Structure 1
Amino acid sequence: MTAATTPADAIAGPAHPVLRLEAVRKSFEGTVVLRDVDLEVAPHTVTALIGSSGSGKSTLLRCAGLLEEIDDGAILLDGTEITDPRADQDAVRRRIGVVFQAYNLFPHMTVLQNITLAPRRVHAVPRAEAEERACALLERLGLADRAGEYPDRLSGGQQQRVAIARALAVRPRLLLLDEITAALDPELVGEVLDVVRGLKDEGMTMVLATHEMGFARDVADQVCFLDGGVVVERGTPARVLGEPGHERTRRFLSRLVAAGRL
């Protein structure tokens, strides 16, 4: 594992999961989006969330990253309830990296400036150290020659890799990835997924929402199928994708097979 991507709490003990959701509920304007969701994510594992659009995958990630306030239940990070009103949620957010479908890079900043902004402004990392860390990440992600470029000079795949580097620059304990290939042209998907494979090899704990079933099968340790805001089925990729036990899961996968996506 490289120093640039080592999670800040990688030495935390194995007595509890990195992330745990307990009976989490979330509604928007009276519409229930998450219904009593339970989820555990072990250290150094990848959990893939699958399901149709609107099934609750993105909302689950946003709640886990404290970007949305839950209505009921609890979310724990390394055994500490982070949804407790007394918790220092700003401090918690600094331990969680989030990457969205949209790259959300600042267009008026160079790649290097985008990556070093949070370490310098939020974590008070000295400029030289932040830039050294950023350059190491860019080297790792095959973008060493792009540090001085502005986002509009990059391809979609390159911009998404910069977004991943930005999330990693704060050395998060947990990385949340929300459909990070959805906005990419098909020929660019592979380069971004290869980055995630590399992060798995380095021991990063990740939860990702994806429509890439082949990728989920290859990379995930745990697959959770969501439907109507409920975790209908969870297990290893081989079991959930190969031998689903629930009829709703089988229907979802059969539609993917019919569409040539599985």
Structure 2
Amino acid sequence: MSEDVGEGTAVLRVESVRKSFGDSLVLRDVDLDVTSHTVTALIGASGSGKSTLLRCAGLLEEIDDGAVWLDGEEITAPRVDQDAVRRRIGVVFQAYNLFPHMTVLENITLAPRRVHGVRRAEAEERARELLDRLGLGARAGEYPDRLSGGQQQRVAIVRALAVRPRLLLLDEITAALDPELVGEVLAVVRGLKEDGMTMVLATHEMAFAREVADQVCFLDGGVVLERGTPQEVFGDPREERTRRFLRRIVEAGRL
């Protein structure tokens, strides 16, 4: 689904990134490497910096210090065309952010046509292909308010994929869903992993993170306190703070 520049390539590199909002330091010298065709899960309590890290990586927030690289290019450097960079990154949020006055097909084809200059017929062909793959082929002509939350979130994922992103950032995409709808959205992410999509996801779905991620990063107080494979972070965490966090997750029945 995305352009390949080689196995093991560092698609995304975050180096010593700091970000404050007013007097609140939200990210503290964060480092992160995401290699091609892998899934990185960001876990941690609310307010730990997961969403801010995603927004900085996607150039939706301006960093205060450090650097972000995409496929070897420093995308936070002065004079970089950030709009051009954003076209290579797909982002899906908690809120679906679909235009209510547009059909599903119109929502999906808007960016390919207006931003990427794709012809309408080509944009619609790709949109319908993706909708079919995600079980939404019959919904192309519907308006968002006629869809369930899970269906709307799947449309939001299709919209992000329609521009053929190099990197997909997913920010708590199941947080706004009823529990019975979570599974259908997570199934989409599993399919994207099988397709080789490079993804970074912030999630509270610990069992899912353990299943699908290649790398897990535990954030606490704006710091990546611990990182490793799911087996390392969930099975034998080094840091006491990580152990306490996971213990509460287990007690809540979420892992």
TM-score scaled to structure 1, two decimals?
0.96
Correspondence for 1:93 among 86, 102, 114: 86
Counterpart of 1:163 in structure 2 is 156
Counterpart of 2:231 in structure 1 is 238
SS state of the match for residue 132, structure 2? Answer: helix
* Residues 138-149 of structure 1 mapped to structure 2, 5 A cutoff: 138-149=131-142
Correspondence for 1:118 among 96, 107, 111: 111
The CA deviation string for residues 198-218 of structure 1, in whole angstroms up to 9 with x for no partner, is 000000000000000110011
* Partner amino acid, structure 2, of 1:42: T
* Residues 195-234 of structure 1 mapped to structure 2, 5 A cutoff: 195-234=188-227
The CA deviation string for residues 107-147 of structure 1, in whole angstroms up to 9 with x for no partner, is 00000000000000000000000000000000010000000
* Partner amino acid, structure 2, of 1:216: A
The CA deviation string for residues 43-77 of structure 1, in whole angstroms up to 9 with x for no partner, is 00000000000000000000000000000000000
- 2:50 maps to 1:50: no
Counterpart of 2:187 in structure 1 is 194
Partner Cα separation in structure 1 for residue 163 and residue 20 of structure 2: 31
SS state of the match for residue 132, structure 1? Answer: helix
> What is the root-mean-square deviation of aligned Cα atoms in Å?
0.7
SS state of the match for residue 242, structure 2? Answer: helix
Partner Cα separation in structure 2 for residue 193 and residue 183 of structure 1: 13
Counterpart of 1:3 in structure 2 is none
2:38/2:197 contact within 8 Å kept: yes
Counterpart of 1:61 in structure 2 is 54
* Partner amino acid, structure 2, of 1:256: I
Deviation at 1:28, TM superposition (A): 0.1
Correspondence for 1:77 among 70, 79, 92: 70
* Partner amino acid, structure 1, of 2:76: T
Deviation at 1:14, TM superposition (A): 4.1
The gaps in structure 1 that reach 5 residues or longer are 1-5
The CA deviation string for residues 69-110 of structure 1, in whole angstroms up to 9 with x for no partner, is 000000000010000021110000000000000000000000
- 2:16 maps to 1:29: no
The CA deviation string for residues 221-257 of structure 1, in whole angstroms up to 9 with x for no partner, is 0000000000000000011011100001001001111
Partner Cα separation in structure 2 for residue 31 and residue 257 of structure 1: 30
Deviation at 1:13, TM superposition (A): 2.9
SS state of the match for residue 225, structure 1? Answer: strand
